[in-house]
Structure 1
Amino acid sequence: MQPTEQPTKTESLKVAVVGTGYVGMGTAVMLASLGHQVVGIDIDQNKIEMLRRGELPIYEPGLEDLLRASQERLRWTGDYASAIPDADVIFICVGTPPLPSGQPNLRYVAEAAQSVARNLNGKLQVVVNKSTVPVGTGDWVSRILEDHALDYSAGRYVVVSNPEFLREGTALHDSLYPDRIVLGSSSPEGIERLRQLYQPLLEQTFTPPEGMPRPANYTLPELVTTSLSSAEMIKYAANAFLALKISFANEIAGLCECVDADIEQVTHGIGCDQRIGHRFLSAGAGWGGSCFGKDTAALINTGSEYGYTMPILRAAVEVNQRQRHLVISKLQRHLHRLQGKRVAVLGMAFKPNTDDLRDAPAHDCIARLMDLGAKVTVHDPVAMPHARREWAHLTYDEAPTAEAALRGADAVILMTEWDEYRALDWDQAVRTMRRRLIIDTRNVLQQLPQHSTVEQVGRTTLHNVPGNEVLAEALA
């Protein structure tokens, strides 16, 4: 079924979004752009002031423009009492960072749910768990509402699980053109309220934002309605499966290096099988970010609570950790001792088009280089200001440009596949290096600079010298 060409009138709902991180911010701005009246709530007053000025506390392509275009339907506050009573739908989008045990920390969910409960007003109000939470959290939030609402009545305050499936760097695109929308609840009224809220997405009746057109051949998203626990499990299972695909590609990449095969050719070949697909088969330094590590750990922990082992997921985590050590091993293969060596690291964010540093492989790389006595210079197009706060425990020099980072370096490690690094004039940049050694952990380079040695993942080490026909054949 194709998106409808003629817009249908959608009733505007009043929405409150608790939490203005990556998920909450994107949810609030997206819903306002669809015509709903949205109030964003956060206890961080600095964030609230930034948002009132039309500034984003995070980097996400396209989001700042949409924020400004939707300002008349957006309001920001730190006061629950001014936002919750009038809301038809209330999203909880707070963080659930992992505890040392691997369990998600639900403290912020509990605090948000209690604050919401104390300000409910007696009409039908739908409380939506958007945060990634363990199976059973929806029922737990229902009990919190029952215990803390001033005039609780069953059926008036209902909980719906509505997990997000956004990729940082393309979050706005994923929000507007989703594959599916999952709603989990035992309340038909709650499901219907959310269906009404998402009608412009389900029917694709909205006008696409400038610069983010509806994809060609895009079909309408599927509305998946389930129980609360099934919706919560869908989120974890989806992320775990994607993590498995990445770890599988990395494990095959290691074997490719042993047998002189090329991982790029191998993954292209297997990805042509429609049962497998090409996405999430890129070998590299391993997955990072806020989801895969946390969600796989949470699933493993949930299994252990029931005496149920999950060896496949544990193996995926082990492979991912091995990839991070592999980066330094490749460097040591050429430089041997790293004490006193100067190493440039290009890319700090865990993926391009975001400034998110959570579980970024670059962090572990820089920390290990420090331990081994190397002098580290870093560059990232977006994430360096964020890293000054989040990575204050690491010691490194910042470079204003990628070219500046390479000057005098004994090696460069390419950790994040920013387009800026793809477009870099590598022939010119490596001329200022002390030794032309490139560790390309994302297999970005397709044309290698002359007189250089390049280590990639799942590919043979390449030594580029004039007249090297073997190199040209390897890159073909």
Structure 2
Amino acid sequence: MKLSIIGSGYVGTTIAACFAEVGHDVVNVDIDEDIVASVNDGDAPIHEPGLDELVEKHAGDRLRATTDYDAILDTDATFLALPTPSEDDGHIDLSIMEAGARSVGRTLADKDGYHLVVTKSTVVPTTTEEVIAPLLEDESGLELGTDFDIGMNPEFLREGSAVSDFLGPDKVVLGSQTDRAAALLRDVFDPLVERAGGPPVVETGVREAEMIKYANNAFLASKISLANDLANICKEYGIDSEEVLDAVGLDSRIGSAFLGAGVGWGGSCFPKDVAAIVAAARDAGYEATMLEAAVEVNDRQPVRMLDILREHTDPSGARVAVLGLAFKPGTDDVRNSRAIPLIDALLDAGADVVGYDPVATENMREHFPDIDYADSAADALAGADAALVVTDWDEFAALDDEFDAMTDAVVVDGRSIVSRRDGIVYESLV
């Protein structure tokens, strides 16, 4: 099939390359000429394991990029993969999505034959039906349900494993309003489902598909916060929280995934999605108190690291190494990284901060241009009075003699990956 993807960001580039990998002809439409040139040259515009290889493999063949919306006229379906950032009150900002929908609508006015427009971005329930569809109709002059249809296909991609997540999904969710749209969506995803060995395919309504994404992320975020709450209680009683949570995870009703206690969740999805569904619920007259509590627990976790540090040293004037700046390993994304509130708190306490991350230093430099950045974990630790481990990169688990170069070896481990050893004062967060 011929597919157009509007947006060449983290989601758009990944799904475009993966759709090409399963046999579709794909065109990425983006307003950024540098990104378009990068894709056409075979270079992925974002850091994501496995993506460079796919873009290089299919660029110039089944994958191309352009700034011209007219490219969608030669495609069967268009996926809207545009940003929906958070506003200060938790609501999502739909301005970029709305602009994209208007551009698609104006282009579809010249389309011969039926077309399907699918929301791929994460949007609150009713957005596709009540915001995107009217814009498409108004701009195109076409009739919804006759000349074109809308659909919703939520993404469940984790940064650092997005390619493998798309090509080997736990489930595929296809939201549609008409039989015709449902059939076309099946045709789009059949090659992927076959390649992936037949994961469950959930065919549902458009707003149900929108809600499934939010419910999915809200549940996972809440599970992490509950694990952290329980681990915090364990620490107060001197109990090994890992043993407790490992045992809890053996219950088939609970499972072990997302029970790893630590400094909390960040990134582009969990914080934004939980805030958005809480705000949407409030608009509908419902207070999502459990989700609000999950956010509160998560916000406390980085500050707990500083509290633990204070038990061993005064951060004022201390040289503190922050190991890990990305919100998770395998990505250079620092959006809502737990390192950000931690560094803020350290600076407020008068600490001299040095940060290190294998790939995310330049992105974090935009947030904190005035702190020091090291070229390696060893350089960050040299002369430091304390080290706070925020991201569980494998290289941090391998640290050993590097701690000997610290002035006062106090290590607060927010991910429980550093091995206890003689010569350091070691505290896990939980």
1:300 counterpart = 2:278: yes
Contact 2:319 2:385 in 1 (8 A): yes
Return the alpha-carbon distance in structure 1 between the equivalents of residues 262 and 370 of structure 2. 24
- Counterparts of 1:13-412 in structure 2, within 5 Å, are 13-71=1-59, 72-81=61-70, 83-120=71-108, 121-139=111-129, 140-152=131-143, 154-204=145-195, 220-336=198-314, 338-388=315-365, 390-391=366-367, 393-412=368-387
Alpha-carbon distance, 1:293 to partner: 1.0
Match of 1:456 in 2: 428
Contact 2:142 2:148 in 1 (8 A): no
What is the root-mean-square deviation in Å for CA atoms of aligned residues? Answer: 1.3
Return the alpha-carbon distance in structure 2 between the equivalents of residues 153 and 190 of structure 1. 11
Give the aligned residue type for 1:96.
T
Give the aligned residue type for 2:427.
E
Give the aligned residue type for 1:387.
M
Contact 1:370 1:395 in 2 (8 A): no
Match of 1:436 among 409, 421, 428: 409
Contact 1:417 1:444 in 2 (8 A): yes
Specify every segment of 5 or more residues in structure 1 that has no aligned partner in the other structure, as ranges.
1-12, 205-213, 459-476
Contact 2:44 2:52 in 1 (8 A): yes
Return the alpha-carbon distance in structure 2 between the equivalents of residues 315 and 158 of structure 1. 39
Alpha-carbon distance, 1:405 to partner: 0.6
How big is each residue's C-alpha offset from its partner over 1:184-236, in whole Å with a ceiling of 9 and x where there is no partner? 111111111111111112122xxxxxxxxx7xxxx521110111111111000
Contact 1:184 1:225 in 2 (8 A): yes
TM-score scaled by length of structure 2: 0.97
Return the alpha-carbon distance in structure 2 between the equivalents of residues 53 and 439 of structure 1. 44
Return the alpha-carbon distance in structure 2 between the equivalents of residues 35 and 394 of structure 1. 44
Give the aligned residue type for 1:362.
A
Task: Name the SS for the 2:73 alignment partner.
Answer: coil
Alpha-carbon distance, 1:86 to partner: 0.9
Alpha-carbon distance, 1:150 to partner: 4.3
Contact 1:180 1:221 in 2 (8 A): yes
Task: Name the SS for the 1:381 alignment partner.
Answer: coil
Contact 1:406 1:432 in 2 (8 A): yes
Contact 1:14 1:88 in 2 (8 A): yes
Specify every segment of 5 or more residues in structure 2 that has no aligned partner in the other structure, as ranges.
none
Give the aligned residue type for 1:437.
V
Alpha-carbon distance, 1:127 to partner: 0.6
Return the alpha-carbon distance in structure 1 between the equivalents of residues 347 and 369 of structure 2. 8
Alpha-carbon distance, 1:151 to partner: 4.3
Alpha-carbon distance, 1:306 to partner: 1.9
Contact 1:122 1:152 in 2 (8 A): no
Identity of aligned residues (%): 42
Alpha-carbon distance, 1:385 to partner: 2.4
Alpha-carbon distance, 1:387 to partner: 2.4
Contact 1:183 1:231 in 2 (8 A): yes
Task: Name the SS for the 2:118 alignment partner.
Answer: strand
Contact 1:126 1:160 in 2 (8 A): yes
TM-score scaled by length of structure 1: 0.87
Return the alpha-carbon distance in structure 1 between the equivalents of residues 269 and 385 of structure 2. 34
